Amino acid sequence: MKKITVFFDLLNQYFLSLIIFIFPFFFLTVTQEFFLTSKIYLLAFSALFLLLISTIKIVVTKKISWQKGAFDNLLILFLVALAISIILSSPNKVQALLNPNFGFLTFFSLTVLYFYISRINTDKKTDFHQKSPNLNQSPFISTNLHLSLFISSFLLSLFTIIFFFQPFKNINLPQYLQFLKSPSFTPIGSQIDLAIFLGFFLIYGLTRIFEKKRIVTDVFLYLWLSVILIALSLTLYSLLKPISTNLNQSPSIFNLLPPFRLSWYAAVEILKNPKTAFFGVGVDNFASIFTRVKDIAYNQSPLWQVFSFNFSRSAVLHLFTETGILGLLTFSLLIFSVLKQLISPNLHLSPSISINLHQSLSLSFIYLLICLFIFPPSLITWFLLFVVIAEFSSRDMINNVSTQPNEIDLTDLLPFYIITLGISFIFITGFGYLLGRSYLAEIYFKKALDGIVKNDAKQAYENMRQAIILNPYIERFRLNFSQLNLLLANNIAAKASQPQEKNKKTSQLSEQDRQNISQAIQAAIAEGKAAISLNPQKAQNWENLAQIYQKIINIAQGADVWTISSYQRAIVADPQNPVYRLNLGGVYYSLGNFEEASKIFEQAVILKPDWPNAYYNLAWANFQKQKYQEAVSAMENVIKLLDPKKDKADYDKAKKELEEFKKKLPQEEKQATEEGKTQPKLTLPSPIPTTTPQIQLPKEASP
């Protein structure tokens, strides 16, 4: 029986070593997002596999054994706090479970790994006391896990150095490997995560250099540290160098993160309501409160076209915003418990090497805490944090002689034995099945996106439909499927109208075409409304529905009213967004309601006074109202804001139209005989071609 126990323990240890080794590198191109999605499912399936091994061990040995760790209760309490926040506050509970950077699945998987990692050496406690009084053989975690982490960080550093010079830049690669040409490519996921990961091992390694008995003796340690230092330097250079994005010129990639100021406002905002103060706005729901606290100053920053962020600038602020006082309190108790062990370590078994090991781990832990305060929540940071906490728990159990394993013999407890195994197998099977469906849905969604790239409508439609069948609770699936259905309706209408274009006549669709267009439009609306039902607090979901209605104004009765209603709901959710107001004003303008259009355009100008497009639309709305002086003033602002060199075409166009406006000034008091024929350059979605008669949609299609 002892050999069987040893076998299962070794199996756990080698499997954990494998997972820890491949985790930083692991990514698959079968999902839309290669890196975080692959890593979170790797952790989740690994946690289930470890639980399965333990269940099989109970079946074979008919014994349950466990040993209490220093932080077990606090970690479980933190998981409970997350679960309560999801149940009471999260609008979309499934996405809250699956969020890779801050979701229940992430912390559940890491907690399971913590329990197994922290207990790897505890069964050897007696040997450590008897054979290793100086703890010369007591490495970080265990020999295998220690080696896995160090080799993994070393290889990742080599990859970073190699890919910094873009070795595949001038090589023809297949479409599915084009990401290898990106200067920011890293297997870990993002440059910021890479910097955090390498910084962790640099700090740990530097503190190990100063161990009294190892200084200038370990050649591998110096080689390892040198490679990590070079990789970290190149990574920091990539992060800090100026970059050019579609958000205008930005000093560095750090400027693409949400501002600290608004992250703090979001955290304070939850205190205004007792429910959100205690339980937060809900996991995976940060975007809804970010749009509420966003101010006009944000619209003057390079980030203004990023309507919202799904994460806070600080992981600690993010935790507080989404889980409230309960989540922050439980997490703080966990951190303070670890810090207490750092300040008052158990040293009765610890000579110089153990003390230095303790100092290395302590500095690494403090480094991770600093990262949690100044960087957004990250799966990599949480992973390293839980590994370090597991090591502290393991050392506590090894050093604490009074902590003995507890064991229950189930041989004579047959009912309890059967119930325990039944619950375990049901949980593992059920959770594994749901996890498999979720991952398979991601794979089908990626195939659908590939179909869109290939212009293969059938592949895109069938795979996206299958993704929604497997997991109907993912908003991005619904949003993309709504747009795909709308695209299909547009293609049908465009093809049917082609024969009539030469004569400039309104298209006469066949009954079958009308039916197909109606079905596609209804499907688009249904998917858009499904996304809203998953989370009605997100402005982007209302914007998507508004754009759907806006594109069918020419072919569906009542779509104009529904468009206006949806944009108004988007504005309520994101009141400081000038784009929503510009689009809503465009709807009023296209309907000939120039009075309302000018009012909305004026609001867009107030929200972003340096936006030429807002002034341009305001100028044309005033022109149509025959308020020529206001139109001239608005167009003059357009010219002031445009760069004659960078925006030469728009500048020349605005200047020409300004001259036309000025010609109307002397006749301002006369009644105009004609309305302006030139239409403004509105940034509106292209409508589906007009059909006669219009398609009548059911009442359920309204918002």
CA-angle at 184, arms to 181 and 188, nearest 5°: 105
Query: Does residue 692 surpass a pLDDT of 90?
Result: no
Residue 253 binned pLDDT confidence (cut-offs 50, 70, 90) = low
Summarised one tens digit per residue, pLDDT across range 468-493 is 999 999 999 999 999 999 998 888 87
In this structure, the dihedral spanned by the alpha carbons of residues 433, 436, 442 and 445, taken in order and rounded to 10 degrees, is -70
Least confident piece of the model among 52-66, 89-103, 257-271: 52-66
Query: Does residue 344 surpass a pLDDT of 70?
Result: no
Measure the CA–CA gap between 137 and 146, rounded to whole angstroms.
12
Query: Does residue 668 surpass a pLDDT of 50?
Result: no
How far from the centroid of its chain's Cα atoms is residue 557's Cα?
A: 38
The pLDDT of residue 409 is: 75
Measure the CA–CA gap between 312 and 318, rounded to whole angstroms.
5
| Residue 686 DSSP code | P
Least confident piece of the model among 91-105, 241-255, 559-573: 241-255
Residue 140 binned pLDDT confidence (cut-offs 50, 70, 90) = very low
**Strand, helix or coil at 678?**
coil
Strand 248-250 versus strand 63-66 pairing type: unpaired
Average pLDDT estimate for 430-436: 95
The pLDDT of residue 145 is: 76
Instruction: List the beta bridge partners of residue 408.
Output: 64
Query: Does residue 510 surpass a pLDDT of 80?
Result: no
Look at the block and give the residue holding tokens 């190990």. Answer: 208
Q: Work out whether the CA dihedral 387, 393, 399, 401 comes out positive or negative.
A: negative
The pLDDT of residue 204 is: 86
Residue 179 binned pLDDT confidence (cut-offs 50, 70, 90) = confident
**Mean predicted lDDT score pLDDT of the chain:** 84
Instruction: List the beta bridge partners of residue 243.
Output: 250
The pLDDT of residue 270 is: 95
Query: Does residue 44 surpass a pLDDT of 80?
Result: yes
Q: Which residues contact 375 (CB under 8 A, 6 or more apart)?
A: 192, 196, 313, 314, 315, 381
Residue 90 binned pLDDT confidence (cut-offs 50, 70, 90) = very high
Instruction: Cite the DSSP H helix spans in 378-472.
Output: 379-399, 414-453, 457-470
Residue 210 binned pLDDT confidence (cut-offs 50, 70, 90) = low
Q: Which residues contact 673 (CB under 8 A, 6 or more apart)?
A: none
Measure the CA–CA gap between 108 and 114, rounded to whole angstroms.
10
How far from the centroid of its chain's Cα atoms is residue 487's Cα?
A: 26
And the tokens for 84?
Answer: 């309560």
Strand 63-66 versus strand 243-245 pairing type: unpaired
The pLDDT of residue 303 is: 85
Which among 124, 87, 95, 92 is positioned nearest to 10, based on CA atoms?
124
Question: Cis omega (within 30 of 0) on the bond before 693?
Answer: yes
The pLDDT of residue 48 is: 95
| Residue 306 DSSP code | -
H or E segment and range at residue 406: strand 406-409
Contact 18, 145 (CB under 8 A): no
And the tokens for 288?
Answer: 């809804």
134 phi, psi to nearest 5 deg: -95, 0
Highest average pLDDT, of 210-219, 456-465, 667-676, comes from: 456-465
What percent of the chain clears pLDDT 70, i.e. is strictly above it? 83
Query: Does residue 580 surpass a pLDDT of 80?
Result: yes
Average pLDDT estimate for 512-531: 89
Contact 137, 121 (CB under 8 A): no
How far from the centroid of its chain's Cα atoms is residue 698's Cα?
A: 36
The pLDDT of residue 679 is: 45
Measure the CA–CA gap between 512 and 20, rounded to whole angstroms.
57
And the tokens for 430?
Answer: 């059920």
Summarised one tens digit per residue, pLDDT across range 525-559 is 999 999 999 999 999 999 999 999 999 888 878 88
Contact 592, 620 (CB under 8 A): no
Measure the CA–CA gap between 678 and 63, rounded to whole angstroms.
83
Residue 331 binned pLDDT confidence (cut-offs 50, 70, 90) = very high
| Residue 131 DSSP code | H
Query: Does residue 52 surpass a pLDDT of 80?
Result: yes
Look at the block and give the residue holding tokens 């009023």. Answer: 588
Measure the CA–CA gap between 472 and 215, rounded to whole angstroms.
58
How far from the centroid of its chain's Cα atoms is residue 193's Cα?
A: 13
Residue 351 binned pLDDT confidence (cut-offs 50, 70, 90) = very low
Instruction: List the beta bridge partners of residue 177.
Output: none
The pLDDT of residue 535 is: 95
**Which domains does the chain possess?**
2-409 (no CATH), 472-669+676-701 (1.25.40.10)
Summarised one tens digit per residue, pLDDT across range 436-468 is 999 999 999 999 999 998 889 899 999 999 999
Residue 683 binned pLDDT confidence (cut-offs 50, 70, 90) = very low
Look at the block and give the residue holding tokens 């502290």. Answer: 392
Instruction: Cite the DSSP H helix spans in 535-676.
Output: 539-551, 559-573, 578-590, 594-607, 612-624, 628-641, 648-663
Query: Does residue 59 surpass a pLDDT of 50?
Result: yes
Q: Helices 315-343 and 286-293: crossing angle, nearest 10°?
A: 110
Which among 555, 565, 655, 203 is positioned nearest to 388, based on CA atoms?
203
And the tokens for 543?
Answer: 């914007």
Query: Does residue 282 surpass a pLDDT of 70?
Result: yes
Summarised one tens digit per residue, pLDDT across range 149-162 is 888 999 999 999 99
The pLDDT of residue 696 is: 59
Average pLDDT estimate for 636-652: 87
Concatenate the DSSP letters of all residues of 163-181 into one string.
Answer: HHT-TTTTS---GGGGGGG
Measure the CA–CA gap between 387 and 544, rounded to whole angstroms.
41
Measure the CA–CA gap between 214 and 207, rounded to whole angstroms.
11
Query: Does residue 83 surpass a pLDDT of 90?
Result: yes
Contact 283, 237 (CB under 8 A): no
Residue 348 binned pLDDT confidence (cut-offs 50, 70, 90) = very low
pTM: predicted TM-score of the whole model, two decimal places: 0.87
The pLDDT of residue 127 is: 41
